[in-house]
Amino acid sequence: MLRGLFAGIKDLIYPNCCLACKNKISPAKERILICSQCWDKIEHNLPPFCVSCGRRLDRTGTAKNICSGCLKTKFYFDRAFSPCVYTSTIKKLIHEFKYSGKDYLGEPFGKLMNKFIKDYRLPIKYLDFIIPIPLHKSRMREREFNQAQVLSEQVAKEFNKKVLPDVLVRNRPTRTQTELAPEQRRKNVERSFTVRDAKAVKDANLLLIDDVLTTGATSSEAAKALKDSGARIIFVMTLAN
């Protein structure tokens, strides 16, 4: 509550500034508070994609269709996708989205995700439900909303899918993944998810949604819990990787 109040006061004191570069913004962009220059600087994820994590392949990986990192890693999800590369501009905007109460950024972020799904003809029509990666209740109290659920609702609305926000539960608090090395990230989220209603996901094809995929540890652990409960195919989509 206080976080949202302080964010609102700040927006009143410093109105019409771009959330990324902090420069004065034109009236046409006031609603989302992202200037045209910063919007154009968002780096889009382009093919060829790794068939596992969804990152753009470099020249050495194109023959195998899989990146060197994924060759050494077992993921429980079947494939991941992201429309953006996690570089400076989108990184700043996601930080505002998650930590400064800017939940309205879900709408332009959702448009990026939806355009990617259409442009690359992702098989969303074969997916039964969308599941957002959940926050632990302590972090939910701190942030007041789950950014993954906001993104999930944007995708669900565009493709007429049902969101299951309460099926997957984060059963214990974990450290922020950005502070940790890859192996620490895996251990940090190990067995941190529980499926509340296994019947809801049994034999279902699912789309897991989160904001960022870095090592893939969080999404993989969530997918493991869902597959252990009978889910079939699990795709992951994040705003950036």
207 domain residue, yes or no: yes
93 domain residue, yes or no: no
Q: What is the structure's pLDDT at 63?
A: 62
18 domain residue, yes or no: no
29 domain residue, yes or no: no
SS3 142: helix
78 domain residue, yes or no: yes
Number of domains in the chain: 1
Q: What is the structure's pLDDT at 189?
A: 79
pLDDT at 48 over 90: yes
Q: What is the structure's pLDDT at 8?
A: 56
Whether the CB-CB separation of 159 and 117 falls below 8 Å is answered with: yes
CA distance 47 to 209: 20
22 domain residue, yes or no: no
111 domain residue, yes or no: no
- pTM for the whole thing? 0.88
Per DSSP, the residues of 58-81 read -TTTTTTTS-HHHHT---SSSEEE
Beta-bridge partners for 207: 130, 235
Whether the CB-CB separation of 228 and 73 falls below 8 Å is answered with: no
Which residues, other chains included, contact 239 with Cβ-Cβ below 8 Å and sequence gap of 6+? 82, 83, 84, 90, 94, 109, 112, 113, 151, 211, 212
- Could you report the per-residue pLDDT of 9-36, keeping only the tens digit for each? 555 555 688 899 988 887 655 567 889 8
Whether the CB-CB separation of 193 and 166 falls below 8 Å is answered with: no
- Could you report the per-residue pLDDT of 73-99, keeping only the tens digit for each? 899 999 999 999 999 899 999 999 998
CATH of the domain at 223: 3.40.50
Domain of residue 217: give its range: 47-82+123-240
Structure tokens at 169: 């539960």
Q: How confident is the model at residue 62 (pLDDT cuts 50, 70, 90)?
A: low
Q: How confident is the model at residue 223 (pLDDT cuts 50, 70, 90)?
A: very high
- Could you report the per-residue pLDDT of 174-212, keeping only the tens digit for each? 766 666 677 777 777 788 899 999 999 999 999 999 999
The count of residues in the chain is 241
Describe the chain by its helix, strand, coil percentages, rounded to 5: 45, 15, 40
5 domain residue, yes or no: no
| Residue 74 neighbours by CB distance under 10 Å | 8
